[in-house]
Amino acid sequence: MEKLNKEHKPHCLILPYPLQGHINPMLQFSKRLAHKGIRTTLVTTKYLYKVLQESLGSIPVETISDGYDNGGVVEAGSTEAYIEKFREVGPKTLTELIEKLNNSSDTAVDCIIYDPFFPWDLDVSKKFGLVGAAFLTQSCAVDLIFYYVYKGEIKLPITENEIKVLGLPVLESSDMPSFIYDYGSYATAFEVVLNQFQNVEKADWALVNTFNKLEQEVIDWMENFWRVKAIGPTIPSIYLDQRLLNDKEYGFSILKPDTDACKKWLDERQNRSVIYVSFGSLVRLEVKQMEELAKGLIMSNKCFLWVVRESEESKLPENFADETSKKGLIVSWCPQLEVLAHDSVGCFITHCGWNSTLEALSLGVPMVAMPCWSDQSTNSKFVSDIWKTGIRTRADDKGIARDTEIMRCVELVMDGDEGKEIRSNAIKWKEMAREAVDKGGSSDRNIEEFVSALVNPIN
Q: DSSP state, 48?
A: H
Q: Dihedral through CA 194, CA 198, CA 201, CA 202, nearest 10?
A: -150
Distance of CA 30 to the CA centre of its chain: 15
Alpha-carbon gap, residue 286 to 155, rounded angstroms: 30
Question: Which is nearer to ligand UDX, 344 or 374 (by Cβ)?
Answer: 374
Query: Smallest distance, Å, CB 391 to ligand UDX?
Result: 18
Query: Smallest distance, Å, CB 104 to ligand UDX?
Result: 34
374 binds ligand UDX (CB under 6 A): yes
**Distance set, CA 53 to CA 20, 57, 254, 419 (Å):** 15, 8, 10, 44
Task: Give the per-residue contact string, 176-205, with ligand UDX (x = CB under 6 A; - = no).
Answer: ------------------------------
Residue 219 buriedness (CB in 10 A; 0-12 / 13-18 / 19+)? buried
Judged by CB under 6 A, the chain residues 22 through 81 that form the site for ligand UDX are 24
Q: Which of 140, 169, 117 is nearest to 229 (CA)?
A: 140
As beta bridge partners, residue 172 has 162
Alpha-carbon gap, residue 157 to 283, rounded angstroms: 25
377 binds ligand UDX (CB under 6 A): no
Provide the greatest CA pair distance for the chain.
67
| The binder of ligand UDX chosen from 280, 296, 346, 366 (CB under 6 A) | 280
Question: Reading across the β-sheet that carries 131-136, which strands appear in turn?
Answer: 61-64, 39-45, 11-15, 111-114, 131-136, 205-208, 228-230
Query: Smallest distance, Å, CB 384 to ligand UDX?
Result: 16
Question: Is 8 one of the annotated active-site residues of the chain?
Answer: no
446 binds ligand UDX (CB under 6 A): no
Task: Give the per-residue contact string, 243-262, with ligand UDX (x = CB under 6 A; - = no).
Answer: --------------x-----
Query: Smallest distance, Å, CB 112 to ligand UDX?
Result: 21
**Distance set, CA 305 to CA 262, 345, 349 (Å):** 8, 9, 10
Alpha-carbon gap, residue 80 to 212, rounded angstroms: 36
| The binder of ligand UDX chosen from 20, 196, 344, 377 (CB under 6 A) | 20
Q: Which of 22, 66, 204, 351 is catalytic?
A: 22
138 binds ligand UDX (CB under 6 A): yes
307 binds ligand UDX (CB under 6 A): yes
Question: Which is nearer to ligand UDX, 376 or 389 (by Cβ)?
Answer: 376
376 binds ligand UDX (CB under 6 A): yes
354 binds ligand UDX (CB under 6 A): yes
- Three-state DSSP class for 112? strand
Question: Is 22 one of the annotated active-site residues of the chain?
Answer: yes
Alpha-carbon gap, residue 3 to 10, rounded angstroms: 12
Q: Which stretch binds ligand UDX (CB under 6 A): 100-108, 119-127, 280-288, 388-396?
A: 280-288
281 binds ligand UDX (CB under 6 A): yes
Q: Which of 11, 66, 110, 115 is catalytic?
A: 115
Query: Smallest distance, Å, CB 137 to ligand UDX?
Result: 6
- Site residues for ligand UDX per CB under 6 A: 20-21, 24, 137-138, 257, 278, 280-283, 307, 333-334, 336-337, 353-356, 359, 374-376
Q: Which residues are catalytic?
A: 22, 115
